[in-house]
Amino acid sequence: MEYTGLTLGEFLSNDEFRDYKVLCGKKGLCRTVNSATVMDAVDIENWIRGGEIVMTSGYIWKNSPKDFLKMIEKINSMGATALFIKLGRFIDRLSPDVYELSEKLDFPIVKMPVERLFLEVTEPVLTRIIDRQAVELRHSQEIHNSFINIVTKGGGVQEIIETLAILCGKEIAFYDAILDRISTSSYVEDIESLRENYRQMYECRPVNMDGKFLGSIINLSQTPFGQYDIVAAEHASTVLNLVQQKSISKIQIEKQYRMNFVQDMIIRNIKTREEVFRRGKVFGWDLKKEGYLCVIVDIDDFKKQYLKMNTITDSKKINFSIEQIFSFTQQMITEYYSDAMFTFLSDSLTAIIPADEEGDKSDFLMKMLQEIRLKIQNETQFTATIVVGCVQKDIMNIYKSYQQAQKCIKISRRVFQRNHLMYFQDLGIYLFLDSFQQTDDTKQLCRQTIEPLLLYDKEHRTQMMETLVTIIDENWNLKQTSEKMFLHYNTLKKRFIKIQEILGKDLSDTSQRIIIELIIRLYELNSLL
């Protein structure tokens, strides 16, 4: 515990110093006395450490009144508490300049009886400081024991705050940064306003651990904390730190259990419905409802970013960004679906969302996921591929929705590469093609069909392949394609004729169109050439 200090006024109030007279600088009587020293050299300021009563007979200054003034300024600036001088021995009286300077600096100058020994000041100073420290240490220990007893008996934040309020004689509150809530020693009408504005409204003392902010002790009274109140608050801060660490550990353990449970469900590591219901009930989840789907938010190019790392700082920045993405993604999903369940891997978040049969394609869900995708794109260094599996009526089948979502990621990355939102039920022809895309016959067919068009683009620096893909995307509607590509209709029509010549296909023929479209989708799916 830090020594709170004996003031000069308290020291001089003892009977043994009744014949000592404060000549000037009385406003400085609140200064703290830490020791006493005798001045016997002109450079005494070099030996000042702060808090000293400096005693002198005045001998070295008897013929140097200006140097005496400079000495007062110097020892005051070095933190000396006061000057005790034996007037009537070498200096009869202080000059008006000394009085003026003393009052200006609030630096006390005390007349010390000539017959008194300097030792008669030094010994009481040391004795009283030791006695004062002993009292304060005893008081500190009592406070410490009060708070430790609360913790050892299983008490929490509320009991600590109530005890601190009694010790300080003040109304006290505590802002819990872990749970974002306020605990108070007595009733507060507008607790929400207090939670949001306590820093601006009241005196606060932060509770930190290893530089991490855990909360604030708040003085709700109009009277500021005194020295003993601060001591009590420091002890309260120590045990609040312990309680908060316990709370953090509990939250982390429960979070891990929740994540493990969700992982078990999506990888089908739970065999019975009863086990699902029982484990879900522990976390307050009613899993007997009908309708659940999986959403996966997968960070694009995560592994590439890691390969670029050169320092620990780079790693910390990337991890911070990922944590930030997961945090606001979970928050946004929870705002829409309060009973959503989550688990995390190094570069992806999986959410199980309760939904009806239309939930996997609802405007509500699509809007929310688009907001998340754009927020990741605009506010972080990453983008994300977000995918949605189909609704499963029974929670036991949620693994199917998860597998569908994983299939979406695989195909979306091949076709759209990154920063895309895809629903499993929108895979369409891509899902059909994915099953046989890697066969040698398929690769050969793609090469024979598409390669002439790619070679033509490379040789003539044209955009024939891009044009053909856009035409297919627009359902072979040339007018819509021209508008999308910002081309004149006649220009696009001529380009379409040229594409047919290069491919050697008549694309007015429906069967030829189907074949070309399938080949183009295969090409998009895996860039087979």
- Tens of pLDDT, residue by residue over 117-164, are 888 888 888 877 776 666 666 766 777 777 878 877 778 888 888 988
Tell me: the pLDDT tens digits for 228-255?
788 888 888 888 888 888 777 777 788 8
pLDDT, residue 529, reads 40
Judge whether residue 192 has pLDDT over 90: no
Predicted confidence band of residue 448 (pLDDT cuts 50, 70, 90): confident
> CB neighbours (10 Å) of residue 133?
16
pLDDT, residue 414, reads 72
Element (H, E) at 274: helix 273-282
Q: How far apart are CA 204 and CA 206, in angstroms?
A: 6
pTM over 0.75: no
Tell me: the pLDDT tens digits for 292-351?
999 999 998 877 776 666 677 777 778 888 888 899 999 999 988 888 999 988 789 999
Q: CA dihedral in degrees (456, 458, 459, 462; nearest 10)?
A: 70
pLDDT, residue 435, reads 57
Which residues are CB-contacts of 447 (< 8 A; sequence separation ≥ 6)? 528, 529
Q: Where are the alpha helices (DSSP H) in 35-156?
A: 65-77, 96-105, 119-152
DSSP state of 420: -
Pick the residue with more confidence: 191 or 442? 191
Judge whether residue 3 has pLDDT over 50: no
pLDDT, residue 490, reads 92
Tell me: the pLDDT tens digits for 393-433?
999 999 999 999 998 888 787 777 789 898 888 776 666 56
- What percentage of residues in the chain have a pLDDT greater than 70? 91
- Alpha carbon separation from 194 to 96, 161, 204 (Å, rounded): 54, 16, 12
Beta bridge partners of 82: 53
Q: How far apart are CA 55 and CA 125, in angstroms?
A: 13
Which residues are CB-contacts of 414 (< 8 A; sequence separation ≥ 6)? 524, 525, 526, 527
pLDDT, residue 384, reads 92
pLDDT, residue 211, reads 77
SS3 310: coil
> Which tokens is 432 given?
């059909």
Q: How far apart are CA 36 and CA 120, in angstroms?
A: 11
Phi–psi pair at 362, nearest 5 degrees: -75, 150
- E strands present in 220-344: 292-299, 341-344
Q: How far apart are CA 387 and CA 116, in angstroms?
A: 90
Q: Nearest to residue 508, comparing CAs of 495, 497, 524?
A: 497
